Amino acid sequence: MPDSIPPTFGQPWPARDATRITAVRTIVTAPEGTPLVVVRVDTNVDGLYGLGCATFTQRWHSVVSYVEDHLERLVVGRYPGDIEDLTRLARLSSYWRDGAVANNALSGLDMALWDIAGKRAGLPVHELVGGKVRAAADTYIHAGGASVEETIEQARGFIEAGWRNIRLQVGQPGIGSYGAAGVGGGYPTSPYPDGWRVEEYLRNTPRLFESAREALGSEVELLHDAHSRLTAKQAVTLARSLEPYGLFFLEDVLGPEDWGQLPGVRELSPVPIAVGELATSATTAAQLILGGGVDFIRCHISAIGGFTPARKLATLAEFSGVKTAWHAPGDTSPIGAAANVALDLTSPAFGIQEGHVYNDATYEVFPGTLPIVDGWIRANETPGWGIGIDEKAAARYPAGLSGHDAWAAGVRSPDGALRYP
């Protein structure tokens, strides 16, 4: 941290007590191979610190630099209870605002401050913000096989393990499909034999759901993720072809470049539309909620700045007839997952929670990681998020460059053109 901090960054009003932020740093670890970025905020009170999730796994070095080279100097010396002011300061101080790097860094700070607030109050974060409106959050889990049979078999296993909601993806020739493996060289006469063909996808996805309903019955809720790969017309075609199978929601039909067309798609779609994991600002997410193009808002909350903006979005959703479905696969740290659950349990707008079953190494690195039991996820009742970090264990799982950007840059059509991943 630089020696001199300009006075404009000092405490702007008298604080309630002498608690002050003394340091902000990052811890990066990859217990599942996916780099997870954690921000730790220390204070001058013995043993009082907070942890936040800043995981932008594809560009984690940039987030580390943003936190340690830019954010720390803004907040050291400040009273940690001024969360709204501190996070506004962090956001506005760059003049050019938002974006995934800046907002993940900001999220790390924001969640760490909520963790500190909870520890100071002796309350879990969900109680700090009004308390529960439900006992647990229902989750969905991912089944994705190379064939329809393989996908259904996986789904059956999840149903037996207690899940009531399953996202189904099925492979196809070439690179496969999002969330499901393919057959290498599937388009041997094409310029790019490992390509992804939208026409094939639009044919095989309804077949998957037809077979799934026959095999799994009507009780289980089924979901699907198009992962931004469609045009507006293709989105409507897919949504209509899936109508007979009663989807819980159809996710990310359009990339953010085309979100202006969502209201038209939703109007013509007989199944609920869920969008938002690629939003990199709360403003964009708010426009999605207000724009009439989504039934479910599902941001990666660290990418929009953390718990504070996500809470505002949950409130906006509550008054807009939109439900929440926060993004939470393995590229969300257990701290981010706990923040999602705090939103789920306190918001009347809750729709469903994406679930991820962390491996044993993650439980070792992050004591307090929330398990999913019979498909349900519950909050810790300990102060703050109730999640710790064992830095010695974290160091045993060093992060490399994320493999996630390799797959994101690897989706091409059979003619060789890059597609949205």
Report the interface residues with Mg ion, using CB under 5 A.
225
Residue from 126, 142, 224, 227 carrying the catalytic annotation: 227
Q: Least Å distance between CB 251 and Mg ion?
A: 5
Instruction: Please give the structure tokens belonging to residue 107.
Output: 């999220």
Q: Please give the angle made by the CA atoms of 384, 340 and 270, to the nearest 5 degrees.
A: 165
Question: Quick one: the chain helix, strand, coil %, rounded to 5?
Answer: 40, 15, 45
> Which alpha helices (H) appear in 319-359, and where do they start and end?
334-346
Complex with Mg ion: residue 91 or 229, whichever CB lies closer: 229
Complex with Mg ion: residue 272 or 384, whichever CB lies closer: 272
Q: Least Å distance between CB 420 and Mg ion?
A: 12
Q: Which helix H or strand E contains 24, and what residues bound it?
A: strand 21-29
Q: Rounded to an integer, what distance in angstroms lies between the CA atom of residue 101 and that of residue 255?
A: 19
Residue from 49, 66, 140, 178 carrying the catalytic annotation: 178
- Confirm whether 192 is a catalytic residue: no
> What 3-state class would DSSP assign to 101?
helix
Tell me the chain's radius of gyration from C-alpha atoms: 22
Complex with Mg ion: residue 225 or 331, whichever CB lies closer: 225
Q: Would you call 236 exposed, middle or buried from its count of C-beta atoms within 10 A (0-12, 13-18, 19+)?
A: buried
Complex with Mg ion: residue 194 or 225, whichever CB lies closer: 225
Which amino acid, 15?
A: A
Q: What is the largest CA-CA distance in the chain?
A: 72
Q: Least Å distance between CB 254 and Mg ion?
A: 12
328 phi and psi angles, rounded to 5 deg: -160, 60
Q: Least Å distance between CB 227 and Mg ion?
A: 6
- Confirm whether 79 is a catalytic residue: no
Residue that has been written with the tokens 């970025």 in this structure: 37
Complex with Mg ion: residue 82 or 344, whichever CB lies closer: 344
Residue nearest Mg ion by beta-carbon distance: 225
- Which residues have a catalytic role annotated? 178, 227
